[in-house]
Amino acid sequence: MSVRANRELDECLERLWHRRELGIAGAADGPGDACIHALAAEGLVALSGDGRVSFSPEGERRAQQLVRSHRLAERLVQDVLGESAESSACEFEHLVGTEVVDAICTLLGHPRECPHGNPIPPGNCCERSAQVVSRQVMPLTDLEIGKSGRIAWVYTRSDAQLHALDSLQLRPGAMVTLHQRRPSYVVECEGASIALDDAMAAAINVWAADPPREGDEAGESGGEAPRRHGRYAARRRGWGRAAG
């Protein structure tokens, strides 16, 4: 089967999954009739006598992984980069394996929904996480009093907030310790105590356990920090402003 044909089957599986989420019964009597019969020929769906469609065990597994990959890609691009994710997510789901998807899920803290509010099917990493640790990256506001974490990324809704946090040395790679939440958040960074309001504190996301050491990321071998392309090209990696 060609790559194009395989991708068309994947997209048909995704559509069937989404229709099931909406409570719409699948049937081999519409515009996607040929695609559904192709899925049946591959053993990915079963057709009943009245034309209704249901996933086979293999079709269920494959559709779940495709939907999971797509929605995690949307979450990654929007949460970390602050950009629209649909076109990138459509490519992502066809290109990466389960291990990479699980690694991204862990990085994001095992999110339950995509940016559109649709549920993200859980993976094995989510089950392991429930038994071992809640998540690796979390908002600073979720950090326990007295605990430390390395800033993973900063995601704000205004340039003013970005500049303010940067001026306080609260930038990706910096270590912070949370000392109090009320009446304002107080963190220690670079030997200084810094007071933050709720919005500023929520903009900071930290590695709460086993943070990567500075320079461990691929491509960080000194010199100027990588640049973002497009609308926010002047920002360094780990900085982002919410779209809209």
pLDDT (0 to 100) of residue 86: 55
Whether residue 173 lies inside any domain: the answer is yes
Answer with the one of 103, 132, 161 that is the final residue of a domain: 132
Answer with the one of 59, 80, 101 that is the final residue of a domain: 59
Domain match, 147 and 221 both: yes
Whether residue 212 lies inside any domain: the answer is yes
Domain match, 87 and 145 both: no
Domain match, 119 and 83 both: yes
Domain match, 31 and 86 both: no
Domain match, 194 and 217 both: yes
Whether residue 187 lies inside any domain: the answer is yes
pLDDT (0 to 100) of residue 60: 95
Whether residue 53 lies inside any domain: the answer is yes
Domain ranges, residue 168: 137-241
Cβ-proximal residues to 124 (8 Å cutoff; 6+ apart), any chain: 102
Domain match, 148 and 222 both: yes
Whether residue 150 lies inside any domain: the answer is yes
Distance CA 125, CA 105 (A): 8
| Pairing assessment for the beta strands 53-55 and 137-139 based on DSSP bridges | unpaired
Whether residue 64 lies inside any domain: the answer is no
Q: Would you write out the chain's pLDDT as a tens digit for each of its 244 residues?
A: 565 678 888 889 999 999 899 888 665 555 457 888 899 999 999 988 777 889 999 999 999 999 999 999 888 877 766 665 555 556 666 667 788 888 888 888 788 888 888 899 998 888 776 544 445 678 899 999 999 999 988 877 777 888 889 899 998 889 999 999 999 999 999 899 999 999 899 989 898 654 444 444 333 333 333 333 232 323 334 444 444 4
Domain match, 186 and 145 both: yes
Domain match, 150 and 84 both: no
Tell me the three state secondary structure of residue 119: strand
Q: What is the CATH number of the domain that holds 53?
A: 1.10.10
Give 210-243 as a DSSP string: SPPPTT-STT-SSSSPPBPPSTTTTSBTTEEE--
Q: In sequence order, what E strands does the chain have? A: 45-47, 53-55, 137-139, 148-156, 175-180, 185-189, 192-196, 204-207, 239-241
pLDDT (0 to 100) of residue 121: 93
Answer with the one of 132, 153, 173 that is the final residue of a domain: 132
Q: What is the CATH number of the domain that holds 122?
A: 1.10.10.10
Domain match, 103 and 162 both: no
* pTM beyond 0.75: no
* Nearest Cα to Cα of residue 46 among 32, 66, 60: 60
Distance CA 78, CA 80 (A): 6
Q: What is the CATH number of the domain that holds 202?
A: 2.30.30.90
| Pairing assessment for the beta strands 204-207 and 239-241 based on DSSP bridges | unpaired
Number of domains in the chain: 3
Domain match, 149 and 176 both: yes
Domain match, 92 and 34 both: no
Domain match, 25 and 96 both: no
